[in-house]
Amino acid sequence: MKSLTIIGLVVAASVCRAQSTTLEQALMLARSNRPAIKASQLSIDRARLSANALSTYPGPTLGIGQSSRTGLGATDQDFFVSQPIDLFGRTSSSRTLGRTQLKLAEAEQRAVLLAVQSEVLKSYFEALSSTRLSEVSDELLKVATSLHQATKRRLEEGKIPEIQFTRATIELDRAKQAATLRKSQLRAALKRLAGAVGSDAELNSVDNAAALSAPEVDLGNRPDLLILSSQAEVAQSEARVASRLLMPDLELTGLRSPWRERDTNFGLRLQLSWRFDFGRGRSEQSASIKAVEAIQASLADARKRAESELAAIDIEIEAAESSVKAFESIRSSASELVSKTQTGFSSGFSTLLDVLEATRSLREIEQELVEAELSLNLAITKKYEIAGTLIEVAK
């Protein structure tokens, strides 16, 4: 835990100095800073200590006593040492129970790690989307400013009516307002990302080239399936423990003759004892068996739902990838059209309306492209969650 804290401090310091936060840095910060992850690790430590306690072999009992009168009390137990003998595997069954409880705690920690990862990925790509939208707004503001200056020059030359200059001014004001709004949205997205990674300091920016590839799928890594499987193993272990409790107790005792006797004698006694619980142990064992059957049914249902979710998210990812490719092609054509209309307007071959329409079309296409990229990244993030895959980060 100490080394993890030191790593978190080093990463935090490097992030503060850097111009942008990478996706790997964000995940590292979250794993070192988020209290939920620390709590899950403490739960594992508790389960490990509990497993050690359950694995302990029953220790001996030392007894020393004396009665005030000869006829009172257990005179043959004035001094004895008693050692239970685990002939029927109670310690072994308890040890197995401890291991399964530890396995359950590890599965629950994986669920926490996956939830934090999903939150960080979602916040990160929303911040990345806001960054790109802000950049698009800045570029459009430059275009609107250039158009406004060209319109003003042509108006002063008497080549266009004043109404066109008014429209260019309105377009410039709209571009300024859009840029201001996008910057505010970007600051809010970075603030949410800082909360997701558990950082008190504000993040300056995110890596504009960040990308996420689809994970390899192994449903056996899904935390909910791991938890259900571990719960089934815990219930099976509890059933074995309950069955062992039905067995008799075997105890070896070393005895000394009573203190009042002049001759001191030592001896051994082997004691086999049965406890009658009127069916309680068998009922507990049957209840644990029913719990196993119920959990296994839930596990089968969860796996089927996971398979259907995985098939659905693959369709969404394929559609999002096609959408991104289509908008990239359209953006290229729209950008070329804007460049041509601006050149034509400066030379007097195009009207202001042509430039405004081309610029507005480019704005819509670029925004739609950013939204399509966000949809793709969020779909891939969802696939990581469905597959139960954790992203490996440098330690």
The token duo for 46 is 């508790």
| Residue whose C-alpha is closest to residue 115's, from 223, 229, 227, 231 | 223
Residue 84 placed within a domain: yes
In a domain? residue 52:
yes
- DSSP per position, 337-360: HHHHHHHHHHHTSS-HHHHHHHHH
Pick the closest to residue 150 from 135, 176, 169 (CA basis): 169
Task: Name the pTM for this structure.
Answer: 0.80
Please report which helix (H) or strand (E) contains residue 84, including its range: strand 79-85
Residue 80 has φ and ψ, to the nearest 5°, of -155, 155
Asked whether the beta carbons of 1 and 370 are under 8 A apart, the reply is: no
SS3 state at 62: strand
Task: Tell me what pLDDT residue 382 has.
Answer: 94
The one-character DSSP state at 388 is T
Provide the 3-class DSSP secondary structure of residue 58: coil
Determine the Cα–Cα distance for residues 246 and 84; give it in Å rounded to an integer. Answer: 16
Residue 134 lies in a domain: yes
- Give a yes or no: residue 395 inside a domain: no
Q: Are 201 and 57 in contact (CB under 8 A)?
A: no
pLDDT score at 5: 40
- Output the domain CATH number for residue 119: 1.20.1600.10
Please indicate, yes or no, if residue 342 is contained in any of the structural domains: yes
User: Mind listing the pLDDT tens digit of every residue in the chain (395 residues)?
Assistant: 334 343 344 444 444 444 688 999 999 999 999 999 999 999 999 999 999 988 888 889 888 887 776 666 566 677 888 888 888 888 888 888 889 999 999 999 999 999 999 999 999 999 999 999 998 888 888 878 888 888 888 888 888 788 888 988 998 999 899 999 999 999 999 999 999 999 888 888 898 888 888 888 888 889 999 999 999 999 888 888 888 878 888 888 888 888 777 788 888 888 888 888 788 878 888 888 898 899 999 999 999 999 999 999 999 999 999 999 999 999 999 988 888 888 887 777 777 768 777 887 888 898 899 999 999 999 999 999 999 999 887 55
Boundaries of domain holding 202: 2-387
Q: Is residue 394 in a domain?
A: no
Does the residue 338 lie in any domain? yes
Per the domain annotation, does 205 fall within a domain? yes
Residue closest to 26 by CA, chosen among 123, 112, 126: 123
Angle at 171 between CA 349 and CA 128, to 5 degrees: 110
Torsions phi, psi for 160 (to 5 deg): -135, 155
Domain count, the chain: 1
Task: Please write down the HEC assignment for all residues of 273-317.
Answer: ECCCCCCHHHHHHHHHHHHHHHHHHHHHHHHHHHHHHHHHHHHHH
Strand, helix or coil at 251? strand
pLDDT of res. 362? 87
